[in-house]
Amino acid sequence: MAAMNRRELLAQSLAVGGGVAAGLSEVKSAAPEIIRGNRLKAQWYFGIHVIDDHTARGVPLVELRTVNNIRYYTDSAGYCAIEEPGLMGRQTYFFISAPGYDYPKDGFGYAGVTLDLKPGAAATIRLKRINIAERLYRVTGEGIYGDSIQLGQPVPLREPLLNGKVMGQDSVLAVVYQGRLHWIWGDTARPAYPLGNFRSSGAVSDLPGKGGLNPAVGVNLHYFTDNHGFCRAMCPLPEEPEGVVWLGGLTVVPDHTGTLRMVARYSRRAGLTKLLGHGLAIWDDRTAIFRKYKVYPLAEHWRFPTGHPAIYVDGGIEYRLFNPQFPTLRAIAKLGAIADPQSYEAFTCLYPGTQFQGNKSKLERRADGTLVWGWKHHGTPINSRQELELLTAGLIQPHEAHFQLMDVQSHRPVMIQSGSFFWNDYLKKWIMIGCQEGGTSFLGEIWFAAAAAPTGPWKRAIKIATHPNYSFYNPTQHPFFDQEGGKVIYFEGTYSVTFSGNDHPVPRYDYNQLMYRLNLSDPRLTTTVGI
């Protein structure tokens, strides 16, 4: 079931359940016993290992399709376990396809290989990576290492098969709080019924080097679960049972006593568009849920935490920088300021106190005609689409624009729908990992850009990952995973058939999180983007 259908169903039938437990999941992994058993059963399967021809690392999300359209998909280690009764002991052809990877075609234009499917035997297939970013593993969902376990291979995760009874999970947020990583997701699917948890899910994990896995290997998530073992609501709002509850703008700031508090904006909705209520939620350490801290008026459209906040220091003052689309919203990094809409500043070229009105917008210019871009208390943030309207109307000139990205290879404009913006120590610049709106795939193309300031100008971009006929939305970098002084970075997003027009969800992978790695010293970045 697509994510949009889940939300539409929920808007009609959501009921907040009781009987939740505040603690983390204490279900002990059965993985060691399962692995031991499957080492004996591995002789029943024909194993296929698909690897990157440059790194020799297993490639997840590779489709292997027979001529009668039986589809297999590699797990997070790049393994497929084949046990098809009618094909075992026979030579069998597999078409090979993988987002961002390539395999040579034969004289008839087929990309694939013929394998002799003998039980207990194995084959290795090598793919050429076209993506600049490297796909590493699936973070959430069922059967992350299912094929590896069937083949008796070692796996890195504590719960490699079904963690927190999560089948699918939407849109990640993550922040370091009290020495551990805290993870939040949106709508979450379960095995037992089409409707799951629609009031935000959560987990914690240890930081790398402090008990956590190397992010190149994986993330051991410890879900907050209910008394049935399914990940429970992180923002239940039992007094308001109608609608889904999503969290955004997750960040950590000090309160008036100097105590660090984890906060996020909550929005209670009936489907994708109708807002029922919203405000600031604060994490309760005792009960391990988000509670209401402040309620915002429904008419408050932008002065609240959103996106993936970044630390930003300006004039010796620490801010939290928010990105509704680009980083054009900020508030002082204190709980009182984050909670108060009046404290927010917008980065805008509009005259203070005015709203965007297309070609009738009132822009602020100095006497010499210079356009005044700046942080303004009584302004409204300008996004790239609005800026494009101003350019088209001739109200601003190309050299005055801040958010008009261009593909360095095709010289075509790139419209970013969502993403993250963080300072990078290796490049000494701000970097963007962004999802393109209306690209080769509507929400499946991921771009990289760099700028000297969070407000840009953002000019040049290069595509680093593609997902043909699929979505990969709400991507974010995880700066807490940076390696080699920021030269190697990690990002993830939601891989989903939703919004793609594709009617064939990929089993296990659909509506789940994929992790990527990007090496910023790659010459394709340094020579084309000019960093």
State pLDDT tens for residues 302-314.
999 999 999 999 9
Q: Are 331 and 342 in contact (CB under 8 A)?
A: no
Per-residue confidence (pLDDT) for residue 26, from 0 to 100: 36
- pLDDT tens readout for residues 328-365: 999 999 999 999 999 999 999 999 989 999 999 999 99
The residue whose two tokens read 């879900």 is 223
Q: Are 16 and 241 in contact (CB under 8 A)?
A: yes
Architecture of domain 28-150: Sandwich (2.60)
Give the mean model confidence (pLDDT) for residues 63-67.
98
Strands 460-465, 405-407: pairing is parallel
Q: What's the distance, CA 309 to chain centroid?
A: 14
Structure tokens at 90: 């026979």
Give the mean model confidence (pLDDT) for residues 238-242.
92
Predicted TM-score (pTM) of this structure: 0.92
Q: What's the distance, CA 294 to chain centroid?
A: 27
Q: How far apart are CA 395 and CA 398, in angstroms?
A: 10
Cβ-Cβ contacts under 8 Å for 234 (sequence gap 6 or more): 184, 199, 200, 201, 202, 224, 247, 289, 290
- Helix, strand, coil shares of the chain, percent, nearest 5, are 10, 40, 50
**Structural domain boundaries of the chain?**
28-150, 164-300
CB atoms within 10 A of CB 426: 18
Give the mean model confidence (pLDDT) for residues 406-414.
94
Per-residue confidence (pLDDT) for residue 33, from 0 to 100: 54
Structure tokens at 203: 């987990």
Confidence of residue 21 (pLDDT cuts 50, 70, 90): very low
- State yes or no: cis peptide before 191, omega within 30 of 0: no
Backbone φ and ψ for 486, nearest 5 degrees, come out as 95, 0
Q: What is the average pLDDT score of the chain?
A: 91
Q: What percent of the chain has pLDDT over 90?
A: 87
- pLDDT tens readout for residues 439-470: 889 999 999 999 999 999 999 999 999 999 99
Per-residue confidence (pLDDT) for residue 272, from 0 to 100: 75
Give the mean model confidence (pLDDT) for residues 475-500.
97
The one-character DSSP state at 528 is: H
CA angle 150, 152, 154 (to 5 degrees): 115
Q: How far apart are CA 508 and CA 117, in angstroms?
A: 24
- pLDDT tens readout for residues 159-207: 999 999 999 999 999 999 999 999 999 999 999 999 999 999 999 999 9
Q: Are 332 and 340 in contact (CB under 8 A)?
A: no
Per-residue confidence (pLDDT) for residue 28, from 0 to 100: 41
Per-residue confidence (pLDDT) for residue 43, from 0 to 100: 81
Confidence of residue 529 (pLDDT cuts 50, 70, 90): low
